[in-house]
Amino acid sequence: MRSYRAGENSQIIGLAEALGAPFEEKRLVYKPTGALGNLTRRVGLFGIDRRASSPLAPPWPKLIISAGLRNEPVCRWIAKQSEGRTRLVFLGRTWAPRSEFDLIVTTPQYRLPDEDGVLHNLGTLHRVTEPRLVEAAEVWKAQLNPEDAPTIAVLIGGRSGPVTFGTHAANRLASLAQARAEKIGAKLLVTSSSRTDPRAIDMLAAHLPKSAHVHRFGHGENPYFGVLALADEIIVTSDSIAMLSEACATGKPVWIFDLGAPPRDRSLATELYRALVRFGPKRLSRDLALVHESFIARDLAAWLEADAEPASGGQTQDVQRAVACIRELLAASWL
C-alpha cells in the first residue's frame, strides 16, 4: 500500500519487487479530518476518501507492505476484515503498538528496541539492483559521460529534521567535491531531489567547473539511476538516509557530506528539531547520526573531508534480509 511520501514508496515497491511475487499497488487519498483518528490509533477507513482511493474489498491480500501514520488505521482495518489472515509489514516505525503488526523493518534512526517482530537493518530498503544499474548505464552513458572519464556522483537532498542543504552547505560542498574530483581526475555528476532548495542548487552549480553535469529535479527525465550506475565514487548529503542506502547498495566508495558542520544553514525548524532530538521523547524524532555512524563503523562510507581516505565500500544486504524475514513469516509456497 503506497505511502504519502516518495521515499517510503520507493522502499515499499523495492521490497515488493524483491519478493518476486505478483503484487498490486493501492493508492489512498486522505481526508484532512482523519488526522486526529490516526493519532489516537483508531482502526478504520475514517481517514481516507474511499471514492477517490483505490478499491478496498475482498479477496483480502496475504501480505500488505506499507509505511506512514495515515496508512496504519487502513492496514489494520484490512487485517481485521481478513480475520487475521493478512500479514502486515511496516517500514520505519509505527504509532500504534508494535504488536499490531507482524513485522517492522526499521533503521537505527528510529531507535526501536530489539524484540520479536522488529528487523533492524543498517539502511532503508531500495530499488538498486545490478540489472537496473546496467540498464541505466546503457541509457544514460552517452548523455552523462560520453568521454568515458572517471566520475563522482553528487546526490543532493534538502531539509530533513535538524539539517538542511542551503547556500552555506552548497559553498562547502562545491569546494570539497571539486577538490576530490581533481585529486582523482574525475568529472562530477550532480543530481538534486524534490526537497532541494533551488537557490542552493544554483549556488552549487555556479561554483563547479563547466565540465560538471548538474541535473535539477523536475527539469526533464530524472537520471538518478544513471548517475549511480556511471559513478566511480558517490557523495551523498547527510540529510538523506534513503540516498545513502541506495549509494551503498552499489558497492562503490561512498562519501557523506556533513550538513551539520560549520558554517551550516540554520532555520527555526532545524533548531527546534535539534532540541527535540536531544531533549524530547524518542518516538517524536529521528536521529540521523545513528545511521551515519553505523555505515562508517562498517567501512561502507566515510565523511567527506579534505585529505580523507575513502571507505572500502561493499554492498549492503538489507533488502535480502527483509525478504528472508517475510518468507519466514508467511511460510507459504506462493512466493
Residue 140 CA to residue 223 CA, distance in Å, equals 7
Helix (H) or strand (E) holding 154: strand 151-155
Integer-rounded Cα radius of gyration of the chain: 21
C-alpha to C-alpha distance for 179 and 290, rounded to whole angstroms:
28
| Residue 11: per-residue pLDDT | 96
Q: Which pLDDT does position 42 carry in this prediction? A: 86
What pLDDT sits at residue 332? 52
> Reduced to 3 states, what is the DSSP secondary structure of residue 261?
coil
Phi and psi at residue 209, to the nearest 5°: -65, 160
Q: What is the pLDDT of residue 334?
A: 46
Under DSSP, the state recorded for 221 is S
What 8-state DSSP symbol labels residue 284? G
pLDDT in tens, 24-51: 999 999 998 777 777 778 899 999 999 9
146 prior amide bond cis, ω within 30: no
Q: For the chain, how long is the longest CA-to-CA vector?
A: 61
Question: Is the CB of residue 247 less than 8 Å from the CB of residue 308?
Answer: no
Confidence at 335, pLDDT banded by 50, 70, 90: very low
pLDDT tier at 303, thresholds 50, 70, 90: very high
Q: What is the pLDDT of residues 77-128, one digit of tens each?
A: 999 999 989 999 999 999 999 999 999 999 999 999 999 999 999 999 999 9
User: Which H/E stretch holds residue 188?
Assistant: strand 187-191
For the segment 226-234, the average pLDDT, to the nearest whole number, is: 97
pTM, rounded to two decimals: 0.92
Q: Which residues pair with 316 in a beta bridge?
A: none
Q: Is the dihedral of CA 52, 58, 60, 61 positive or negative?
A: negative
Can you give the length of the chain in residues? 335
pLDDT tens-digit series, residues 235-267: 999 999 999 999 999 999 999 999 999 889 988
Please report which confidence band the pLDDT of residue 217 belongs to, taking 50, 70 and 90 as the band edges.
Answer: very high
Q: Is residue 203 scored above 80 in pLDDT?
A: yes
In this prediction, residue 288 has a pLDDT band, given cuts at 50, 70 and 90, of very high
Q: Cell 532555520 maps to which residue? A: 267
